[in-house]
Each structure stands twice: as structure tokens, then as C-alpha cells.
């Protein structure tokens, strides 16, 4: 059976983005024209995912509404002849099947994934974090490549990594410990460390919000105790799978498919500017505006 199932955790409180996230999910923040989670779903769909389980939480119901069909809005636009705006809602009818469940206690990412177990059962699945976009306008096939690699190498864990330019950022991410020297973009994983200090970090390769797992992850998650930050960490369960002889594969994100982390203001602002600058209608005008504002001559790099 094709691997066409993804769990998308969207239950986090978004505390690093307060007050913007006080009464709306961070996954619904707009980046350019669309909310973050719409890019995530489009990326998954392009990679062959047909079933998505959102693990939501309190105050996240606007995500459910967003992927539903809004009949009233559709007929209003149709009757007023607003065809262009109507086309923007075409995603409501895409061929993805959505399911929703709730994480009722904030016990961390590992716990959120474990909540998906009764739905996933005994089959491999993708995990895609709902607050990260991969590639400009989500034009990334990294998940498809990860699935291929999962099947080819008979792995238990496939993770994609972003190379951090600034080593001080390791404290914000799960960090890879590769097996031996890395020679290409695909490498074997020895282990991982969740949010290490700069000195402890085994590399500058940061877990970039996309994973493929065999069901072996669930039996480890069930046993995983609270770790970093008092939360049940997905990284800790992955380490246990590897320690017990499971195979782990890392794939480096290509430079032209950057990851946009919408989990803090600094990277959210950057993502918004990048996406707005590439808007087909308003991008050019925004660039002129920014150049003027920053006193950069037109044509200068
Ligand atoms: C989580 C994971 C971390 C990973 C990150 C990717 O951290 O625990 O390993 O690198 O997502 O976005 P969080 O951002 O939820 O603190």
C-alpha cells in the first residue's frame, strides 16, 4: 500500500508568537496570501499524501473551518460574479481526506504524535509540523524523496535536516548526530539531541519539521518520559528506535528549498517578506517600496 498518510501536529500554544497567537493558532498566521497550514497541506498533497490527521488543541478550531467548504461564501462569490476570488477557494475541494483529534494536555510533540496512534495503526506515516513551510510557496518534494528513501533503505526513521548557518541556533532544534562522515545529501543517523547547547551539539544539522516513521516509533513514544522542557520529546523516542537497531536516515534540504520556521517572530517576519516579495501582483511594488525605504538604488544587489 502506498504511504499516503500524514499526521500534522498543530496543538502547540505558540507562546513565542504572543500576543499574535493569543486567540488564533500560529498555523493560521498568513505568510504572503495564505495561512501557514495551507502551504503545509499543499506540499503534502503534491508529495502524494491523501489522508491527513491534524492533532489540534484548544482554540484551534479555525483550522478545521479553513479546510471545510464554506457554502455561504462560495454562493455569495458565485452570485456576485467574483470568479477570481472563487478560484482562491478551489483548495476546499482537493482530494485530501481530513481527520481531526485533540491533544487535551500540553505534553509535547512526542505526545501529540502518539495521539495519532489509534488512527495510524500499524503502518508507516509522515509527520509534518504545521508551523513550518518548506520551499518558496511550498514547492518542495522533500516528503516524496523521504518516502522513496524510507522504502529504498528499509528505514524506521527518515528525517530532513536544514544546515544552520549560525551555530548558535542549535539550541532551538533537534540536532543530528550522523554516522561517520557525511558524503552526500543522504546519510545514516547515529543519534539525535534535542535542543543541545552550542558546545554539546554534534553537528549544525537541524531537524526541519518533516519525518517519515515506521510504526516502531509508537512503542517507543509510549515509554518516553518527559525530557527537555518537561515535554515528551519526539527526538527522544527516535533516539530509542535507533539505539535498538532501527535504521535512521537523514536527508539534507537543498539550498533552493529552504525551511521557513513560523515558530518565532524573527523567522516569521523574514518568511512573510520573502513570500510577499514574490507575489505575482504586489511583489514588484513591494520591492520598490522597500528599496526606497532602505535607500537602496534600483538595480543594486
Ligand atoms: C520541534 C522538535 C525539534 C525540531 C523542531 C522543528 O521543536 O522538538 O526537534 O527541530 O520542532 O521545527 P519545537 O519547535 O516544537 O520546539
- Residue 91's pLDDT band (cuts 50, 70, 90): confident
121 is written with which cell numbers? 495503526
Task: Give me the residue label for grid cell 516524496.
Answer: 144
Pairing between strand 51-56 and 5-9? parallel
> At 270, is the secondary structure helix, strand, or coil?
helix
Residues making up the chain, counted from first to last? 301
CA of 132, closest atom in ligand 1: 12
Which pLDDT value is given to residue 55? 97
DSSP letter string, 153-201 = HT-SEEEEEEE-SSGGGGGGSEEEEESS---SSEEEEEEEEES--TTT-
Question: In percent, how much of the chain has pLDDT > 90?
Answer: 84
246-282 pLDDT, tens digit per residue, is 999 999 999 999 999 999 999 999 999 999 999 999 9
Q: Are 60 and 101 in contact (CB under 8 A)?
A: no
pLDDT at 88: 86
Helix (H) or strand (E) holding 248: strand 248-252
pLDDT digits (tens, 9 = 90+) for 50-83: 999 999 999 999 999 999 988 898 888 889 888 8
Decide: 196 in ligand 1 pocket, CB within 6 A: no
Cβ neighbours of 175 (radius 10 Å): 25
Query: If 0-12 CB within 10 Å is exposed, 13-18 middle and 19+ buried, where does residue 249 land?
Result: buried
Q: Where are the domains of the chain?
A: 5-263, 264-301
Considering the chain, what is the average pLDDT of its residues? 94
Q: 28-39, pLDDT tens digit by residue?
A: 999 999 999 999
Q: What fold does the segment set 5-263 form as a domain?
A: Spore Coat Polysaccharide Biosynthesis Protein SpsA; Chain A (3.90.550)
Q: Which of 203, 207, 253 gets mutated to test ligand 1 (max ligand atoms within 8 A of its CB)?
A: 207
The pLDDT value recorded for residue 282 is 97
Phi-psi domain of 257 (left: phi exceeds 0; alpha: psi -120 through 50; beta: other):
beta
Average pLDDT for residues 195-207, to the nearest whole number? 96
235 in contact with ligand 1, CB cutoff 6 A = yes
Question: Which pLDDT band holds residue 296 (cuts at 50, 70, 90)?
Answer: confident
* pTM given for the model: 0.95
Q: State pLDDT tens for residues 207-245.
A: 999 999 999 999 999 999 999 999 999 999 999 999 999
CA of 85 to the centre of ligand 1 (A): 35
Task: Tell me, in angstroms, the distance from the centre of ligand 1 to residue 203's CA.
Answer: 16
DSSP code for 53? E
Give me the half-sphere count of Cα atoms (radius 13 Å) on the Cβ side of residue 98.
21
DSSP state of 25: -
Per-residue buried b or exposed e for 158-174, using 16+ beta carbons within 10 Å of the residue's own CB: bbbbbebeeeebbeebb
Q: Count other C-beta atoms under 10 Å from residue 25's C-beta.
A: 26
Give distance in angstroms: CA of 206 to centre of ligand 1: 9
Atom of ligand 1 nearest to the CA of 174: 9
Confidence grade of residue 1 (pLDDT, cut at 50, 70, 90):
low
What's the confidence (pLDDT) of residue 188?
Answer: 96
The Cα 100–Cα 116 span in angstroms is 10
Q: Of 197, 283, 210, 235, which is closest to residue 46 (Cα–Cα)?
A: 210
Amino acid at each position: 500500500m502506498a504511504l499516503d498518510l500524514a499526521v500534522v501536529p498543530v496543538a502547540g500554544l505558540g507562546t513565542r508568537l504572543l500576543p499574535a497567537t493569543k486567540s488564533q493558532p500560529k498555523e493560521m498566521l498568513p505568510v504572503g496570501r495564505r495561512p501557514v497550514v495551507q502551504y503545509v497541506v499543499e506540499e503534502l498533497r503534491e508529495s502524494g499524501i491523501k489522508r491527513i490527521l491534524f492533532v489540534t488543541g484548544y482554540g484551534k478550531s479555525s483550522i478545521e473551518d479553513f479546510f471545510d467548504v464554506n457554502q455561504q461564501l462560495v454562493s455569495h462569490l458565485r452570485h456576485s460574479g467574483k470568479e477570481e476570488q472563487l478560484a482562491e477557494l478551489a483548495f476546499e475541494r482537493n482530494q485530501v481526506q481530513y481527520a481531526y483529534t485533540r491533544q487535551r494536555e500540553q505534553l509535547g510533540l512526542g505526545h501529540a504524535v502518539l495521539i495519532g496512534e489509534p488512527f495510524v495503526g500499524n503502518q508507516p506515516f509522515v509527520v509534518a509540523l504545521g508551523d513550518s513551510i518548506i520551499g518558496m510557496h511550498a514547492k518542495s518534494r522533500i516528503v516524496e524523496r523521504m518516502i522513496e528513501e524510507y522504502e529504498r533503505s528499509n528505514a524506521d526513521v527518515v528525517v530532513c535536516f536544514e544546515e544552520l548557518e549560525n551555530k548558535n541556533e542549535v539550541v532551538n532544534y533537534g540536532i543530528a548526530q550522523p554516522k561517520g562522515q557525511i558524503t552526500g545529501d543522504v546519510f545514516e543517523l547515529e543519534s539525535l539531541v534535542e535542543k543541545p547547547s552550542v558546545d554539546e551539539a554534534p553537528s549544525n544539522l537541524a531537524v526541519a519539521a518533516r519525518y517519515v516513521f515506521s510504526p516502531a516509533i509508537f512503542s517507543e513514544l509510549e515509554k518516553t518520559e518527559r525530557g527537555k522542557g518537561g515535554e515528551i520529546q519526539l527526538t527522544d523516542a527516535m533516539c530509542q528506535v535507533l539505539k535498538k537497531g532501527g535504521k535512521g536516515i537523514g536527508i539534507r534540504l537543498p539550498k533552493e528549498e529552504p525551511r521557513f520556521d513560523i515558530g518565532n517572530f524573527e523567522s516569521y517576519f523574514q518568511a512573510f517578506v520573502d513570500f510577499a516579495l514574490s507575489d505575482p501582483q504586489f511583489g514588484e511594488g513591494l520591492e520598490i517600496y522597500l528599496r526606497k525605504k532602505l535607500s537602496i538604488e534600483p538595480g543594486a544587489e
